[in-house]
């Protein structure tokens, strides 16, 4: 049974985040130069249809109908403290990425507390398998797949990437299977990579992880989801982003330090300033000048990795 305290916290987060996202997205519409394919079931269990849906966004200029040209892919793993969010609140951000020359796969995944870890990682694997199975129909270049994740999505994406590239760590996720796909690079945006504060007295992190992890975020479980400890030299090249004003600003050094130690190519960007701070996941607001700059730089990083 889900603890009432955790359910209350999750509902409060959903209410607050939802209000903010509606304000951010008010008045936005699908750009005229974008073609979109919506509400595609990527999982095998029809009972999970509420969660396991994805959209694909593409620039119209590179083909429609049966003549879709293969484009490099960006997969979006949304944020939301592991308890909030879906593809709909990332659709306008995703279509702005598509305008930069990518096919964007934007998906919903199962949330805590209704679904416990590793449900979200299972869903990520299902999405990447879906890309392999449907690349011809939607014009997806399996050799040039990238992924972005912010906040909790950055954490989940980095865990998934570690499982793909670290054989010892992968043993914890036996559902991940070989696939004809190359994950060329990551955008890790305002993410959280060290969960030790859950066992060091941070009540908010402890409460969130208590609702997400099957064993209530015991020390062994916290260790399992400390992303930075599982980075190897095979981890994808990464664009690591945060900003002045981001409440997770202090998390970036954990992942950049791990990338540096493993010899993984990466770029680190911190936007805003002390006198003009930004805010957590500012890059999702396409009307913001700093978001345009950040997303341009991140997509240019991806383009430099295309083969």
Residues 174-214 have pLDDT tens digits of 999 999 999 999 999 999 999 999 888 788 888 899 889 99
Q: Angle at CA 95, nearest 5°, toward 94 and 100?
A: 100
Q: Angle at CA 211, nearest 5°, toward 205 and 214?
A: 115
Angle between helices 119-138 and 152-165 (to 10 degrees): 80
Q: Which residue has the higher pLDDT, 1 or 207?
A: 207
Pairing status of strand 238-243 against strand 266-271? parallel
Q: List, in sequence order, every residue forming a beta bridge with 59; answer none if it has no partner.
A: 34
Is the pLDDT at 6 greater than 50, yes or no?
yes
- The model's confidence at residue 216, banded by pLDDT at 50, 70 and 90, is confident
Q: In the structure encoding, which two tokens stand for residue 159, read together?
A: 């865990």
Sequence length of the chain is: 307
- The per-residue pLDDT for 63 is 60
DSSP class of residue 70 equals P
Is the pLDDT at 46 greater than 90, yes or no?
no
* pTM, two decimal places: 0.96
- The per-residue pLDDT for 12 is 94
- The per-residue pLDDT for 204 is 86
Mean pLDDT (whole number) for 276-286: 97
- The per-residue pLDDT for 5 is 78
CB atoms within 10 A of CB 46: 8
Mean pLDDT of all residues belonging to the chain: 94
DSSP class of residue 46 equals G
DSSP class of residue 221 equals H
- The per-residue pLDDT for 64 is 62
- The per-residue pLDDT for 8 is 84
Q: In the structure encoding, which two tokens stand for residue 116, read together?
A: 């416990």
Is the pLDDT at 65 greater than 60, yes or no?
no
Give per-residue pLDDT as tens, 79-121: 999 999 999 999 999 999 999 999 999 999 999 999 999 999 9
CB distance 183 to 236 below 8 Å = yes
Is the pLDDT at 11 greater than 60, yes or no?
yes
- The per-residue pLDDT for 67 is 67
34-41 sheet: strands from edge to edge = 34-41, 53-59, 103-107, 71-77, 140-150, 183-189, 238-243, 266-271
Distance CA(59)–CA(104), nearest Å, equals 10
DSSP class of residue 251 equals G
Distance CA(302)–CA(298), nearest Å, equals 6
Tell me which residue of 83, 50, 202, 219 sits closest to 151, measured CA to CA.
Answer: 83
Of the listed ranges 77-86, 170-179, 209-218, 252-261, the one predicted with least confidence: 209-218
Is the pLDDT at 1 greater than 60, yes or no?
no
């Amino acid at each position: 049974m889900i603890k009432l305290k955790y359910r209350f916290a999750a509902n409060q987060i959903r209410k607050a985040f939802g209000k903010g996202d509606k304000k951010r997205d008010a008045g936005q519409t699908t750009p005229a130069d974008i073609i979109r394919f919506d509400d595609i079931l990527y999982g095998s269990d029809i009972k999970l249809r509420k969660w396991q849906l994805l959209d694909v966004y593409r620039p119209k200029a590179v083909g429609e109908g049966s003549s879709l040209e293969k484009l490099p892919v960006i997969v979006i793993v949304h944020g939301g403290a592991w308890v909030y969010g879906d593809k709909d609140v990332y659709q306008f951000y995703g279509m702005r990425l598509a305008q930069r020359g990518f096919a964007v796969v934007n998906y919903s995944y199962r949330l805590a507390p209704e679904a416990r870890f590793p449900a979200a990682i299972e869903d990520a694997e299902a999405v990447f398998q879906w890309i392999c199975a449907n690349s011809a129909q939607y014009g997806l270049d399996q050799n040039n797949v990238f992924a972005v994740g912010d906040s909790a999505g950055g954490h989940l994406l980095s865990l998934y990437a570690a499982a793909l590239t670290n054989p010892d760590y992968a043993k914890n996720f036996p559902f991940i299977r070989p696939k004809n796909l190359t994950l060329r690079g990551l955008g890790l945006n305002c993410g959280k990579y060290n969960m030790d504060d859950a066992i060091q007295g941070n009540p908010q992190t402890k409460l969130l992880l208590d609702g997400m992890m099957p064993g209530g975020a015991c020390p062994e479980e916290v260790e399992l989801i400390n992303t930075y400890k599982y980075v190897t030299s095979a981890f994808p090249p990464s664009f690591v982003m945060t900003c002045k004003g981001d409440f997770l600003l202090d998390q970036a050094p954990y992942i950049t330090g791990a990338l540096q130690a493993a010899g993984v190519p990466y770029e680190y960007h911190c936007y805003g300033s002390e006198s003009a701070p930004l805010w957590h996941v500012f890059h999702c607001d396409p009307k913001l000048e700093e978001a345009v700059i950040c997303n341009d730089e991140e997509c240019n990083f991806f383009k430099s990795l295309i083969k």
